[in-house]
Amino acid sequence: ILLNELIFWLKYNLDSFKQLSETPNNAVLTNAINYINDHIDTVKGPLDVAQSIFVSEAYLFYLFKKHLNVTPKNYIMQKKMLKAERLIQNGEKFNNVCKKIGYSDYSIFFRTYKKYFGKAPSK
Protein backbone atom coordinates (compact mmCIF):
# COMPACT_ATOMS: atom_id res chain seq x y z
CA ILE A 1 0.00 0.00 0.00
CA LEU A 2 2.80 2.40 0.86
CA LEU A 3 4.54 1.53 -2.38
CA ASN A 4 1.35 2.35 -4.31
CA GLU A 5 1.13 5.70 -2.52
CA LEU A 6 4.74 6.48 -3.40
CA ILE A 7 4.24 5.52 -7.05
CA PHE A 8 1.11 7.66 -7.22
CA TRP A 9 2.93 10.61 -5.68
CA LEU A 10 5.86 10.26 -8.06
CA LYS A 11 3.60 9.88 -11.08
CA TYR A 12 1.67 13.08 -10.41
CA ASN A 13 4.19 15.17 -8.52
CA LEU A 14 7.71 14.29 -9.60
CA ASP A 15 8.79 17.93 -9.77
CA SER A 16 7.29 18.78 -6.39
CA PHE A 17 8.87 15.63 -4.91
CA LYS A 18 12.29 16.87 -6.02
CA GLN A 19 11.56 20.34 -4.68
CA LEU A 20 10.35 18.97 -1.34
CA SER A 21 13.79 17.63 -0.45
CA GLU A 22 15.31 21.05 -1.14
CA THR A 23 12.68 23.01 0.79
CA PRO A 24 13.33 24.33 4.28
CA ASN A 25 10.96 23.24 7.03
CA ASN A 26 7.93 25.43 7.55
CA ALA A 27 5.97 25.00 10.79
CA VAL A 28 2.68 26.28 9.34
CA LEU A 29 2.91 23.94 6.38
CA THR A 30 3.78 21.05 8.68
CA ASN A 31 0.75 21.86 10.86
CA ALA A 32 -1.48 21.99 7.79
CA ILE A 33 -0.24 18.64 6.49
CA ASN A 34 -0.61 17.05 9.93
CA TYR A 35 -4.15 18.40 10.22
CA ILE A 36 -5.05 17.01 6.79
CA ASN A 37 -3.56 13.62 7.61
CA ASP A 38 -5.33 13.46 10.98
CA HIS A 39 -8.71 14.60 9.61
CA ILE A 40 -8.70 13.30 6.04
CA ASP A 41 -12.15 11.72 6.50
CA THR A 42 -13.82 14.95 7.55
CA VAL A 43 -11.84 17.79 5.99
CA LYS A 44 -13.89 19.37 3.20
CA GLY A 45 -11.32 21.72 1.75
CA PRO A 46 -8.58 24.27 2.28
CA LEU A 47 -10.81 26.61 4.27
CA ASP A 48 -11.28 23.92 6.95
CA VAL A 49 -7.53 23.51 7.20
CA ALA A 50 -6.77 27.23 7.24
CA GLN A 51 -9.32 27.91 9.98
CA SER A 52 -8.07 25.03 12.10
CA ILE A 53 -4.47 26.27 12.07
CA PHE A 54 -5.42 29.95 12.25
CA VAL A 55 -4.05 31.21 8.94
CA SER A 56 -5.74 32.69 5.90
CA GLU A 57 -6.72 30.47 3.02
CA ALA A 58 -4.58 32.62 0.72
CA TYR A 59 -1.50 32.07 2.88
CA LEU A 60 -2.16 28.34 2.98
CA PHE A 61 -2.42 28.32 -0.82
CA TYR A 62 0.87 30.25 -1.05
CA LEU A 63 2.68 27.77 1.22
CA PHE A 64 1.46 24.70 -0.63
CA LYS A 65 2.33 26.13 -4.04
CA LYS A 66 5.74 27.37 -2.91
CA HIS A 67 6.89 24.28 -1.03
CA LEU A 68 4.93 21.40 -2.60
CA ASN A 69 4.00 22.83 -6.01
CA VAL A 70 0.40 21.72 -5.51
CA THR A 71 -2.71 23.53 -4.32
CA PRO A 72 -4.14 22.62 -0.91
CA LYS A 73 -7.34 21.44 -2.60
CA ASN A 74 -5.45 19.06 -4.89
CA TYR A 75 -3.31 17.83 -2.00
CA ILE A 76 -6.45 17.00 0.00
CA MET A 77 -8.02 15.24 -2.99
CA GLN A 78 -4.84 13.22 -3.57
CA LYS A 79 -4.77 12.11 0.05
CA LYS A 80 -8.45 11.15 -0.08
CA MET A 81 -7.93 9.17 -3.28
CA LEU A 82 -4.93 7.34 -1.86
CA LYS A 83 -6.95 6.38 1.18
CA ALA A 84 -9.83 5.29 -1.06
CA GLU A 85 -7.46 3.10 -3.07
CA ARG A 86 -6.16 1.44 0.12
CA LEU A 87 -9.71 0.79 1.35
CA ILE A 88 -10.77 -0.66 -2.00
CA GLN A 89 -7.70 -2.92 -2.09
CA ASN A 90 -8.69 -4.13 1.38
CA GLY A 91 -12.10 -5.20 0.05
CA GLU A 92 -14.31 -2.30 1.16
CA LYS A 93 -17.45 -1.68 -0.86
CA PHE A 94 -17.33 1.39 -3.07
CA ASN A 95 -20.25 3.14 -1.37
CA ASN A 96 -18.63 2.62 2.03
CA VAL A 97 -15.32 3.97 0.76
CA CYS A 98 -17.10 7.02 -0.62
CA LYS A 99 -18.63 7.79 2.77
CA LYS A 100 -15.50 6.94 4.76
CA ILE A 101 -13.42 9.55 2.97
CA GLY A 102 -16.04 12.28 3.28
CA TYR A 103 -17.96 12.20 -0.01
CA SER A 104 -21.71 12.43 0.27
CA ASP A 105 -22.29 11.74 -3.44
CA TYR A 106 -20.94 8.59 -5.09
CA SER A 107 -20.94 10.13 -8.57
CA ILE A 108 -18.53 12.88 -7.45
CA PHE A 109 -16.32 10.28 -5.78
CA PHE A 110 -16.40 8.14 -8.95
CA ARG A 111 -15.39 11.03 -11.22
CA THR A 112 -12.61 12.16 -8.89
CA TYR A 113 -11.27 8.63 -8.51
CA LYS A 114 -11.30 8.10 -12.26
CA LYS A 115 -9.53 11.43 -12.81
CA TYR A 116 -6.68 10.54 -10.43
CA PHE A 117 -6.19 6.87 -11.24
CA GLY A 118 -7.40 6.77 -14.84
CA LYS A 119 -9.74 3.89 -14.04
CA ALA A 120 -13.02 3.24 -12.32
CA PRO A 121 -12.92 2.09 -8.68
CA SER A 122 -14.22 -1.33 -9.78
CA LYS A 123 -11.11 -1.89 -11.91
Report the chain's mean pLDDT, rounded to a whole number.
Answer: 81
pLDDT tens, 52-75? 999 999 999 999 998 888 899 999
Q: What's the pLDDT score for residue 32? A: 92
Could you give the CA distance from residue 110 to residue 89 in angstroms, rounded to a whole number? 16
Tell me the whole-structure pTM to 2 decimals: 0.73
Q: Where are the alpha helices (DSSP H) in the chain?
A: 2-22, 27-38, 46-53, 57-68, 72-89, 94-100, 106-117
48 or 123, which is more confident: 48
pLDDT tens, 7-45? 666 666 655 544 444 444 688 898 999 999 899 888 889
Percent of the chain clearing pLDDT 70 (strictly above): 80
